[in-house]
Amino acid sequence: MRTYKYINILLSIFIVAIMCMGCNSTSSKSEGTEKEKNIKKTMTDSNKDSVAKSSTSDVVIKTEYIPVDYRSNALIVKRSEDVEMYGLVDDKGNVILEPEYDSLRFTYMNGENYIRAKRATDFGVLFLDGTQYIKMGEYEDIVSAGNIGWLALKKGKQYLLDENLKVTRKLSSVYHLCVGDKYLFLSHNVNQEMLDGCGNKSSDIDQASGDIYDLKENLLISADTSNIIYFDWLVNGNMFVVTIMKDDKTGVASLVDDTGNIIAEIANNPSTYVVDVSMKEKIIFHETLQPFDKLFEYDISSNIATETEFDKEEAWHAQIVVEKTGDFYQLYKSGELLLDDRFADYVFSKGVLWLKNIDNEWEIVDYTGKTIIPFGKVNYKSSTYHDQEMIDFSSSGLYNFYIKDSGSYEFHNYVVDEGIKEQ
């Protein structure tokens, strides 16, 4: 889930430590053709392997290293609390990459997960099995361009690469982000580094003032001339939810087209902040900055905002309505009881629900009501699992955490149904 933010914030700095020196010379045309064939074969083999070992069931990994992040059959680990060097472990606990990297981060390009890697001054991109996709040190910096491919920096020049690493366009400026599949974002923040893009037609931008260009580098939206102080979301591939500074110095969430023309103000309240955008013409927002206020749906086609029956973004995604009767809560989905029991308390958390029974025991269920961890095994208030410290770093569709026991670590991953709503 994205983190809520106040829309009248004027600056937001997202820094990723990804600068280095060192490049390799380009290959000949014949070598390039052979290289493309090898890349395609490696991608196909790795993707098949990833699908075969995908997280379709729960896994438990025991390791001497600290778990950091997880995708299918790939657990990024840190050497120790004192030594920030990173490595890779598979679902069986086998060390794929020793913790010798300064940084390992998951990234996403055209439907596939990869790993952005840094070791000393070299940067590259790895497959989830640890093999090299983009050779370490070939570029000074490289980030995902969503569905387009990659945004790469070499000798101070920036390039768009396709998934076979062929240069599709040499750029005249150094852009900071690819937005959707046809826009480039140039930040006004001089310290802004390149960031991974997202290829979805509706996706989170979450960037302070800057300019929007098309892939041919034609300026489409200038933040200065349009008084845009924040770019929140790309909507339906060609519209943007932005914050516009009014004459009274208040920021108002607005919908603009890709030339900067205002289509509509989402709400007149300057405290409005957008928390999500569905894939089908719905913008979800709180009317005030109070986190437990009702959510509203703004329908783009009708330009009408209506109050929903949900008070949280997670509840809207899951389509779970919580009703209180006396001192207890009941959960409903699509007008029917999700679970027969009543509960003393509940908490939405990263794709799951924590539920407390009348005996003060907690359980964890996914958004379909499937039990992940039964009552009595987990304690929400002290964040312990089997009386051990429980560290949660879940991602979309996965609920995972680790527990520390006598200097070793036990990583748990559960596949969950988040009940994401498609309208």
314 pLDDT more than 70: yes
Do residues 122 and 141 make contact, with C-beta atoms less than 8 angstroms apart? no
DSSP 8-state secondary structure symbol assigned to residue 234: E
Dihedral angle over CA of 155, 156, 157, 161, nearest 10: 70
**pTM, 2 dp:** 0.80
In whole numbers, what is the pLDDT of the chain averaged over residues?
82
248-257 residue pLDDT tens = 888 888 999 9
Burial class of residue 263, CB neighbours in 10 A (0-12, 13-18, 19+): middle
Q: What is the pLDDT of residue 291?
A: 54
Q: Which residues of 71-105 are buried (b: 16+ CB within 10 A; e: fewer)?
A: bbbbbbbbbeeeeebbbbbbbeeeebbebebbbbb
371-381 as b/e: b if 16+ CB within 10 A: ebbeeeebebe
For residue range 24-69, list pLDDT tens digits in order. Answer: 333 333 444 554 545 544 554 544 444 334 445 689 999 999 999 9
Query: Taken in order 377, 379, 385, 391, is the CA torsion positive or negative?
Result: positive
Mean pLDDT along residues 144-158:
94
Handedness of CA 374, 376, 380, 384 (dihedral sign): negative
248 CB neighbour count, 10 Å cutoff: 7
pLDDT at 385: 60
Residue scoring higher pLDDT (135 or 306): 135
